[in-house]
Amino acid sequence: MKVLKFGGSSLADAPRYMRVMEISTATHQTDGAAVVLSAPKGVTNALSLLCEQAAAGEDFQPLFNKLNDTVTGIANNLNEELDGFAHASVVDFINSHLSVLKQHLEGIKLLGVAPDNVAAGILSIGEYISVTLFSAMLSAKGIANRVIDPVKYVLAEGDYLDSIADVSLSKARFSDVPTDGSEFLIMPGFVAANEAGEKVTLGRNGSDYSAAILAACIDANCCEIWTDVDGVYNADPNQVEGAVLLDKLTYQEAMELSYFGAKVLHPKTIGPIAQHHIPCLIRNTLNPAAPGTLISNEKSEVWTSVKGISQLDNVTMFNVAGPGLKGMVGMASRVFEVMSNANISISLITQSSSEYSISFCIQSKDASRALTLLEDAFALELQNQLLDPIEVRHDLAIVTLVGDGMRQTKGLAARFFNSLAQARVNNVAIAQGSSERSISTVIESKRAKKAVKVIHQNFFSDRHTIDVFLVGCGNVGTELLGQIEKQQPALLKRNVQLRVYGIANSRKLLLNSQGIDLSGDWKAKPPVPL
Ligand code: ADP
Ligand code: ASP
Ligand code: MG
């Protein structure tokens, strides 16, 4: 049996749901399918925003209506597409869930806060609507299907909003689920239950993890993650022009890339599939013919020391420093205990060799909580000036170079840091994983895009890029642009890409991040007035 997971990007509207049905029923006929579904695109974001609006006492009705229109619209369109679609009962399901949602939002507005257990219920509504739509689609096609409610099957522990599954205990619960392909299995992603049977979520973007849990629990022979790109690239293809698709990644490489920000795969996904040796394929719902990227124990035939670059945004760095740290046994462990007790995950740690300071990075959303907790825990040391006031740096990003082969190759760190210097980026902190599978730098987030672009170019492209911004486009400037246009093809043959990104005179500015087409009538293009 195969597990297929479809993310929100694959479930944007009724035609995409139809496509998902086509892909998954084809697999069901040959191997038996268990499908894990996310919420329709944008729905979890809307639910999260509704909680925020209600807690802030704002009017949530307009967004609520928009959400209602989106999901009801998908149901109505599917009803037009499919004979025998149980439209009335699907719409009933949507209405009853949205009316409970509204009551909860009114309650949150009165309280002024969304308690985590209530938020977990709200955030997962989209996934339940998604499986209800899909089950009705399969039934309309006469395909026997069963919806698995993770609340009954997937046991997890931790926060209501970011739990970790206990795969072996969950597996025992799946004994009554047919895995012989006689029924098409459908499970909402992102959801689980704690020991008390309360609904929890697995963290934002957590449906990938749900797929891995399900694959491990039903001993699937493959876990396919279907998304909106052809597979895992050596950098985010939506951010880096010329990013290259990878055919294979080891579990460890995929883990490092996703942990450091490649959101094509949630980092928690790797644990269950690696432990149960289940191969994982990343595939494109919009291009099912593409073979995708295989994540397994197999190494790629094409050896490269560096596999990819990832970028983790919304990072805050803490620096705990002071004379009290020097030689004092257990200070580091106290710092990290405070974080772990508060369930705050640390993405990178560095310590100065003089032991005078410990720096670590966490997600910015946890920063103010972390600061309060640290100041409480070290109140005495701060009061007695054994510790300096805790330093906090916001608006940072972590850029990481990943590859199993990095440990055998010398000079990579030098090339990495040269690239950063070339991009005029200042390193706030650096760290290398002890496995030598990754090198990370912490930099200002506003410089991250440029940094990734230059690193990508230096490591993966033998093409030299020259970016031109022309100020002054009178006779001489126009002639120069003409010359550049004539030279471009010849330069490209010599692997030099000369592109004009901006043209300005004293009154107007023309910009194009992809390069201005100089063969077209660029003078007629609408400029940005200065
Ligand atoms: P889904 O809705 O299917 O879960 P996501 O938006 O969570 O999809 O993940 C897919 C996105 O991940 C892609 O559109 C791409 O922009 C982003 N991404 C980031 N890094 C990479 C990478 N290295 N390779 C492929 N995609 C990446
Ligand atoms: N719908 C959830 C989210 O947007 C889970 C997921 O799509 O993976 O975070
Ligand atoms: Mg995702």
Pocket test for ligand 1, best of 229, 312, 456 (most atoms within 8 A of CB): 229
Residue 528: its pLDDT value, please? 64
What separation in Å is there between the alpha carbon of 43 and the centre of ligand 3?
13
Q: Percentage of residues in the chain with pLDDT exceeding 70?
A: 97
Q: Is the CB of 27 under 6 A from ligand 1?
A: no
Q: Is the CB of 4 under 6 A from ligand 1?
A: no
Residue 165: its pLDDT value, please? 98
Q: With a cut of 80, say whether residue 137 has pLDDT above it.
A: yes
Q: Is the CB of 210 under 6 A from ligand 1?
A: no
Ligand positioned closest to the Cα atom of 212: 2
Which amino acid, 421?
Answer: A
Q: Residue 520, class by beta-carbon neighbours within 10 Å (0-12 exposed, 13-18 middle, 19+ buried)? A: exposed
Q: Is the CB of 308 under 6 A from ligand 1?
A: yes
Find the angle CA(443)-CA(445)-CA(448) to the nearest 5 degrees. Answer: 75
Residue 492: its pLDDT value, please? 77
pLDDT in tens, 80-96: 999 999 999 999 999 99
Q: Is the CB of 450 under 6 A from ligand 1?
A: no
Residue 353: its pLDDT value, please? 67
Query: What residues contact 392, with CB distance under 8 A and at least 6 apart?
Result: 316, 317, 318, 319, 367, 371
Q: How confident is the model at residue 171 (pLDDT cuts 50, 70, 90)?
A: very high
- Range scoring the smallest mean pLDDT among 127-136, 208-217, 405-414, 495-504: 495-504
pLDDT in tens, 253-292: 999 999 999 999 999 999 999 999 999 999 999 999 999 9
The Cα 359–Cα 429 span in angstroms is: 8
Residue 527: its pLDDT value, please? 67
Q: How confident is the model at residue 297 (pLDDT cuts 50, 70, 90)?
A: very high
The Cα 52–Cα 462 span in angstroms is: 47
Index of the ligand 1 atom closest to the CA of residue 235: 23
Residue whose pair of structure tokens reads 């491990």 in the numeric block:
216
Average pLDDT of the residues of the chain? 93
The Cα 202–Cα 280 span in angstroms is: 19
Q: Is the CB of 201 under 6 A from ligand 2?
A: no
Greater model confidence, 484 or 160: 160
From residue 256, alpha-carbon distances to 184, 252, 376, 384 in Å are 33, 6, 33, 40
Tell me the whole-structure pTM to 2 decimals.
0.88
Helices 43-55 and 116-123, axial angle in degrees (round to 10):
150
Q: Is the CB of 207 under 6 A from ligand 2?
A: yes
Ligand positioned closest to the Cα atom of 6: 1
pLDDT in tens, 420-471: 999 999 999 999 877 788 999 999 999 999 999 999 999 987 667 788 898 8
Q: Is the CB of 8 under 6 A from ligand 1?
A: yes
What separation in Å is there between the alpha carbon of 228 and the centre of ligand 1?
7
Q: Is the CB of 36 under 6 A from ligand 1?
A: no
Q: Which helix (H) or strand (E) holds 401?
A: strand 391-402
Q: With a cut of 70, say whether residue 210 has pLDDT above it.
A: yes
Mean pLDDT of 327-353: 86
Index of the ligand 2 atom closest to the CA of residue 207: 8
Ligand positioned closest to the Cα atom of 206: 2
Pocket test for ligand 2, best of 6, 49, 187, 207 (most atoms within 8 A of CB): 207
What separation in Å is there between the alpha carbon of 126 and the centre of ligand 3?
14
Q: Is the CB of 38 under 6 A from ligand 2?
A: yes
Q: How confident is the model at residue 142 (pLDDT cuts 50, 70, 90)?
A: very high
Q: Is the CB of 126 under 6 A from ligand 1?
A: no
| Closest residue by CA, ligand 2 atom 2 | 205
Residue 260, phi then psi, degrees to nearest 5: -95, 25
Q: How confident is the model at residue 228 (pLDDT cuts 50, 70, 90)?
A: very high
Index of the ligand 1 atom closest to the CA of residue 8: 2
Q: With a cut of 60, say whether residue 308 has pLDDT above it.
A: yes
Q: Is the CB of 258 under 6 A from ligand 1?
A: no
Q: Is the CB of 271 under 6 A from ligand 2?
A: no
The Cα 215–Cα 212 span in angstroms is: 5
